[in-house]
Amino acid sequence: MKHLTQPARVVTPPDDGWLARRVARLLKRLPPAAGAPVSIARAPRLRDGHAAVHAGSFLRQRRMLFACTCAEFPRVFVHEWFHFVWLRAGNPLRREFEELVAAERRAGARGELGWSAEWRKRALTRSDARRRSRRWREYCCESFCDTAAWIYSGARGHAEFTLARRFRTRRREWFAQKIAHRPLSI
């Protein structure tokens, strides 16, 4: 990752103090990041092309929208934040994470650290990882973001944390080596 100079900022609506305070607390838990500001706001009844969703990141527009509960907000915010990290992580780091989850797959790992990765994992075919299909790469991105949310959101437990402990430990170690102690570009 290239040298970072401008600390990342999150811009919240001026009339939403709760959101501003919550984001400020969450950013203190995360590795330092730099880049242009990211705007966030609440958006009731948020949907993707298929169904209701908790949040959405618009990476080119540098904004995030949230429709989750207050209790889910830390986990969802960290997940969305790490979409910006994934985008700018560079191919070598993304490929290392892909290899980590590919090794899990070869070992027969079931479960994930969030539903967005879980349903994509379930949809993979045997050849997706080998061919690095779009479906595989989207799964890896979601798995990366769900893993970050598991590590940094402060959630002690969640029904969506279904990945076995030994694989969780490996992911935590990978994040500690590759993500935790270096400035991130968003």
- Asked whether residue 95 falls in the same domain as residue 173, the answer is yes
Per-position pLDDT tens, the chain of length 186:
444 567 788 999 999 999 999 999 999 999 999 999 999 998 888 777 777 678 888 889 999 999 888 899 999 999 999 999 999 999 999 999 999 999 999 999 999 999 999 999 999 998 999 999 999 999 999 999 999 999 999 998 999 999 999 999 999 999 999 999 888 999
**Amino acid letter, 179:** I
- Number of independent structural domains in the chain: 2
- Asked whether residue 101 falls in the same domain as residue 179, the answer is yes
Taking each helix axis as running N to C, give the angle between helix 165-178 and helix 91-106, from 0 to 180 degrees, rounded to the nearest 10: 170
- Asked whether residue 140 falls in the same domain as residue 62, the answer is no
- Asked whether residue 103 falls in the same domain as residue 181, the answer is yes
- Asked whether residue 98 falls in the same domain as residue 60, the answer is no
- Among 46, 81, 116, where does a domain finish? 81
The answer to whether residue 3 sits within a structural domain is: no
Structural tokens at position 7 = 């600390």
Residues 100, 85 contacting (CB under 8 angstroms):
no
* Chain centre distance of CA 42: 18
CA distance 34 to 96: 22
- Asked whether residue 71 falls in the same domain as residue 98, the answer is no
Q: In this structure, is the dihedral angle defined by the CA atoms of residues 79, 84, 88 and 91, taken in order, positive or negative?
A: positive
The answer to whether residue 46 sits within a structural domain is: yes
* Chain centre distance of CA 99: 17
The answer to whether residue 86 sits within a structural domain is: no
At 75 the pLDDT is 94
Structural tokens at position 130 = 């080998």
The answer to whether residue 5 sits within a structural domain is: no
pTM, two decimals, is 0.92
At 87 the pLDDT is 96
At 164 the pLDDT is 97
Domain carrying residue 53: 10-81
At 1 the pLDDT is 46
- Among 81, 103, 136, where does a domain finish? 81
Residues 151, 73 contacting (CB under 8 angstroms):
no
- Within 10 Å of residue 55's Cβ, how many Cβ atoms? 21
Closest CA to 41 of 27, 28, 55: 55
At 166 the pLDDT is 97
Scanning the structure block, which residue is given the tokens 């080998």? 130
- Asked whether residue 54 falls in the same domain as residue 30, the answer is yes
